Amino acid sequence: MKDIVFTVTHLKFLNKDVFELKLTAPEPLPECRAGQFINLKVADASLCLRRPFCLYKFDKTSVTLIIEIVGKGTRLLAQLKKGDTVTGVMPLGNGFIVEKQHQNIALISGGIGCAPLLAVPLTHPNKNVCAYLGFSDKSKTVLVDEFKKACRVKVSTDDGSYGFNGYATDAFLDDFNSGVFKPDVLLTCGCEPLLKAVQQISRQLKIPAYMTGETRMGCGVGACLVCACAVHEGGKTVQKRACADGPVFLIEDVVL
Amino acid sequence: MKLSVNIAGVEFKNPIIAASGTFGFGREYNRFYDVSVLGGICTKGLTLLPREGNAGTRIAETPSGMLNAVGLQNPGADRFIREEMPFLETLNTVVIANVAGNTEDDCVALTRKICQTNVDMIELNISCPNVKEGGVAFGVCPTSVENITRKVKRACTKPLIVKLSPNVSRIADNARAAQNGGADAISLINTLTGMAIDYRTRRPVLSFTTGGLSGPAIKPVALRMTYEAYKSVSVPIIGMGGIMSAEDVLEFMIAGARAVQVGSANIFDPFASFNLVKTLTTLLKACKIEDISELTGSLKVN
């Protein structure tokens, strides 16, 4: 693997805190999978750690990321201008493995957690995919139109200001219970309460579910062991590396 | 130009050694470059039995550095020997096994076991701040440093490095204690104990509450301690703490180090150690230094 020096070719704010960043590489990129991530260097010597971001869209020479401003590092990235360069290593992590028998796929996300899921329908155009995208309120909705171009979509808001009134998991159960959609697999990303709800649904309905979570990360390549994710394995709780063993885990195994 | 250095009879092709806990067992970085270009690799801290480490958040970024509280997660001696040693043996670089334990007896038993492998050296870790028992507990008081060093040395058939904690009253006393106990070399510094707090939740960021501070933020402290240790012992010193550039390497060597370990820099940049070897050569040429060893302890005191 190598460090890639990307050029910023596009930066657009989707709402006041979330922006889309397109990075173009000088040469063809390695093959990527939905759910994999990039570890990006920030141009500030006092911020030593790289920042991991899931791949939102990718093609042979570019990757697009969806970034929420949560601190100094993401604020600096938001100030990048077209033509600036930024260094990163990618693709990292396992990503979502969509199996052959998984023809019907439900995507369940909370907020910006929808970002890593779009590449699933984009890279599997022959699958029957429905995205249940949950947001806190109408002002926080992002990427809905992008999902609509790729698959069926059901938007929900916690306060009912847009779409289904409730959580994304409620919207999914609504469809499931009324027989509208019976998926073979659930793929999810979002806050911990959402992940817990999906874990419960997966157990109750006996539908396998895979999650990609969020954790503080160090090297991003599996060496430093700081991004521990507690997983049940062989009757024991073991600490897996989110960066190298994940970031996608079978939700059944994860200690949430 | 001569880049090689000798520590306790072990020849390193250059003075750049990957530090314990930041480099796994070398496999991950070998996907980025041939890790045999390094002078040496120090393994993740090993214990007799496998350890899962601390649960929850293990890292926090700090200005020009980071805090970690991994808690010595490692596969244990048997799996290390079975699964990691065969790979390490294929490398053309010095392999140093970092050993730790809850008790002196654990450290001794582990050292005995690891010495039966083809590792080149043992680094005794009496300075891990992120475990409840053992770890730094052995490393604070000079008397306990000397005692554990002596016991481990008796069981150790390979050259023994003792890795010192900076969280002590007088580093010179601890360096001397390690030497008196029979250490063949000393490495320093391990991380400085620190803390990060989230003002919104009023909770420590790290699940373990405290963690070990590393990165460029600690370099001045590490340089000072390398210098003080150099003045107080005659065994070779391996310096570390926030090394990011070839210039940093030279500074540590001038302070008294015969070689250096590079830790957090690997976490910040997967090519850090590789780039250091390359830029070190360039810098030595520019400085017209023929033999890198001439730098060791060459500080001109004001």
SS (H, E, C) A89-157: EEEECCCCCCCCCCCEEEEEEEHHHHHHHCHHHHHCCCCEEEEEEEECCHHHCCCHHHHHHHCEEEEEE
pLDDT of residue A214: 85
pLDDT of residue B4: 98
ipTM reported for the complex, 2 dp: 0.94
Whether pLDDT at A184 is above 70: yes
**Chain B residues closer than 8 Å to A215 by CB:** 57
pLDDT of residue B111: 98
Closest Cα partner for B116 from B102, B103, B100, B97? B97
Whether pLDDT at A96 is above 70: yes
Q: State the DSSP string of A45-81.
A: TT--S-EEEE--EE-SSEEEEEEE--SHHHHHHHT--
B128 is catalytic: yes
For chain B, the maximum distance between any two Cα atoms, rounded to a whole number of angstroms, is 55
pLDDT of residue B128: 66
pLDDT of residue B114: 98
* Residue among A41, A222, A239 minimizing CB distance to B73: A239
Distance of CA A163 to the CA centre of its chain: 22
The residue of chain B with its CA nearest to that of A49 is: B268
The mean per-residue pLDDT over the stretch A35-43 comes to 96
Q: Does B60 touch chain A (CB under 8 A)?
A: yes
pLDDT of residue B68: 97
A51-54: strand order across its sheet: A51-54, A37-40, A85-92, A4-13, A18-24, A62-68, A57-58
Closest Cα partner for A133 from A169, A178, A104? A169
The mean per-residue pLDDT over the stretch A235-244 comes to 95
CB contact burial B251-277 (16+ within 10 A = b; e otherwise) = bbbbbbbbbbbbbbbbbbbbbbbbbbb
- Return residues 27-86 of A near B (CB < 8 Å): 41, 45-50
pLDDT of residue B134: 61
In the set B42, B107, B115, B128, the catalytic residue is B128
The residue of chain A with its CA nearest to that of B56 is: A228
**Chain A residues closer than 8 Å to B58 by CB:** 216, 225-228
Q: Does B34 touch chain A (CB under 8 A)?
A: no
* Residue among A41, A45, A239 minimizing CB distance to B52: A239
CB contact under 8 A, B65 and A215: no
User: A201 vs chain B: nearest CA distance in angstroms?
Assistant: 24
What percent of chain A shows pLDDT beyond 90? 98
Q: Alpha helix (H) ranges present in B57-163?
A: 76-79, 85-89, 104-114, 142-155
Chosen for mutation from B43, B68, B267 (greatest number of chain A CBs closer than 10 Å) is B267
**Chain A residues closer than 8 Å to B59 by CB:** 49, 216-218, 224, 226-227
Report, in angstroms and rounded to the nearest whole number, the Rg of chain A calculated over CA atoms.
18
* Residue among B59, B63, B216 minimizing CB distance to A218: B59
Q: How many Cβ atoms are within 10 Å of B283's Cβ, its own excluded?
A: 16
What is chain B's pLDDT, residue by residue, as a tens digit (302 residues)?
999 999 999 999 999 999 999 999 999 999 999 999 999 999 999 999 999 999 999 999 999 999 999 999 999 999 999 999 999 999 999 999 999 998 899 999 999 999 999 999 999 999 766 666 665 678 899 999 999 999 999 999 999 999 999 999 999 999 999 999 999 999 999 999 999 999 999 999 999 999 999 999 999 999 999 999 999 999 999 999 999 999 999 999 999 999 999 999 999 999 999 999 999 999 999 999 999 999 999 999 98
Could you tell me where the beta strands, DSSP code E, fall in B53-110? 59-62, 65-68, 94-99
pLDDT of residue B138: 81
User: B215 vs chain A: nearest CA distance in angstroms?
Assistant: 8
pLDDT of residue B135: 59
pLDDT of residue A97: 87
Q: Does B129 touch chain A (CB under 8 A)?
A: no
* Residue among B31, B64, B270 minimizing CB distance to A46: B64
User: Mind listing the pLDDT tens digit for each residue in A187-201?
Assistant: 999 999 999 999 999
User: Mind listing the pLDDT tens digit for each residue in B71-106?
Assistant: 999 999 999 999 999 999 999 999 999 999 988 999
Whether pLDDT at A118 is above 90: yes
Angle between helices A192-205 and A168-177 (to 10 degrees): 20
pLDDT of residue B131: 67
